[in-house]
Amino acid sequence: MFKDLRTQLLVSVIAALILMLLSIWAVTREYMILAVCVLVLICFYMIYLLFWFWKNISEPIDKLTGFAKEIASGSYGSQLADSSQNEIGRLTDAINDMSEKVALAEKARTDFISQVSHELRTPLTAITGWSETIAYDPAVQGDSLRGINIISKEAERLTGMVTELLEFTRIQDGRFNLRIETIDIAEELEDALFTYGKLMKQAGMVVHYTPPSKDLPMIPGDPERLKQVFLNVLDNAMTHGGDGKMIDVSLGRDGNYVKINFRDYGNGIPEAELPHVKEKFYKGSSKARGTGIGLAVCDEIITRHKGRLDIYNADGGGCMVVIYLPISSRT
C-alpha cells in the first residue's frame, strides 16, 4: 500500500476500472468463465477496499475526533500515538503539536495569574488595614470618611477577586484538594445564610429559607469548600438578582441526593449565555464586576463531591441555581 492516501485512492480506482473493463471484454467475447472469475475478483477487491478504508481512514478519524474533544474539554498537553506516515498521520502530528503548545500557553497564563495574585495580596492587605484604621479616626468626617469607606470596600472586593484567581490556579495546577468528612448539610447551609445575612439585609435583600421537612442524613463533604460555594451563589444572587429584592433558599432530599435550591427574582440570564455561565473567565453581558471564575470554581467543587450544579432561568423570572450532593460517597 502507498503511504499517500490520494495515491492509494487513485491506484484503487484505476485497478477497479481495469477489472470492470476486463469483465466487459470477457462477456463480449463470450468468455463466460473468465467473466465470472473477474466479477468474483471485483467483489473480493471491493470488500477488501471497504475494510481498508474503515481501518486506515474512518477509524483514525474517529480517534482524532475524540482526541480533539478531549483537548476542547481541557486535556491540554495530551498526545495521540499514530505511526502512519500518510495525511492522517501528519494531521495527528499537527494536533499533537497544537495540544502541546496550548498546554504551554495555559501554563504560562496560570503562572502569570498566580504570580500577579500573590503580588497583589500584600498591598491589598495594607490598603484594607490602613483604611479601616483611618476610618476610626474621629478627625476624619464627611466626604473624607466616605472616601475612606469606598477605598476599604473596593480593596475588599479586589481581595475577593484575588482569592478567586488563586483558587483557579490551584485547580489548574492540581493543588485543589478536598478534606472530606461527615457533615450536617443543613447546619452548613444555615451557617452560610447567617454569615451572609447581615450583608444581604444591608443591600435590602430578603431571604426566605425553607428547611427540610424531615431530618436529612449526614453526608460526605468538605465543609469549608461547600460553604464557599453557598456564599458565592448567594453573592451572585444578590449582585445579579438584586432588583427582585428577594432570594428563596430551600433544602431537601431527592432520591440518593441532597438538593439545595437558590432562586432570585431578578432579570435572569439571557438564554444564549446560559450554557457558558460556568466557563472560566466568562462574564457575559452582565455589568457587574468580577473575575468570571467564581461559578467555575463552584462547579469544580461540586463535581469533585460527585454532585452536580445546574443553573437555569426560573418560571416567572429570576435565576435558579440547584446543587445536588450525594448522600453516599459511592453514589
> pLDDT (tens digit, 9 = 90+) per residue, 6-52?
777 777 788 888 888 888 888 787 788 888 888 888 888 888 888 88
Look up the domain containing 295 and give its range.
181-326
Cα distances from 49 to residues 13, 54, 56, 310, in angstroms, run 10, 8, 10, 48
Q: Is residue 122 part of a domain?
A: no
Q: Is residue 210 part of a domain?
A: yes
212: domain CATH number is: 3.30.565.10
Residue 208 backbone zone (phi > 0: left; psi -120 to 50: alpha; other: beta): beta
Q: Is residue 15 part of a domain?
A: yes
Q: Is residue 202 part of a domain?
A: yes
Cα 298 to chain center, whole Å?
10
Q: Is residue 114 part of a domain?
A: no
Q: Among 179, 169, 172, which Cα is nearest to 121's?
A: 169
3-state secondary structure of 100: helix
- pLDDT higher than threshold 90 for residue 132: no
Same domain, 196 and 303: yes
Same domain, 188 and 74: no
Same domain, 98 and 217: no
Split into its structural domains, the chain has a count of: 2
**Given 102, 132, 166, which residue is the final one in a domain?**
102
The secondary structure of 270-323 as a DSSP string is: -TTTGGGTTSTT--TT--S-S-S-HHHHHHHHHHHTT-EEEEEEPTTSSEEEEE
Question: Across all residues in the chain, what is the average pLDDT?
Answer: 83
- pLDDT higher than threshold 90 for residue 184: yes
The pLDDT score that the predictor gives to residue 331 is 53
Q: Is residue 154 part of a domain?
A: no
Same domain, 95 and 204: no
The pLDDT score that the predictor gives to residue 250 is 95
The pLDDT score that the predictor gives to residue 42 is 84
- pLDDT higher than threshold 80 for residue 281: no
The pLDDT score that the predictor gives to residue 175 is 67
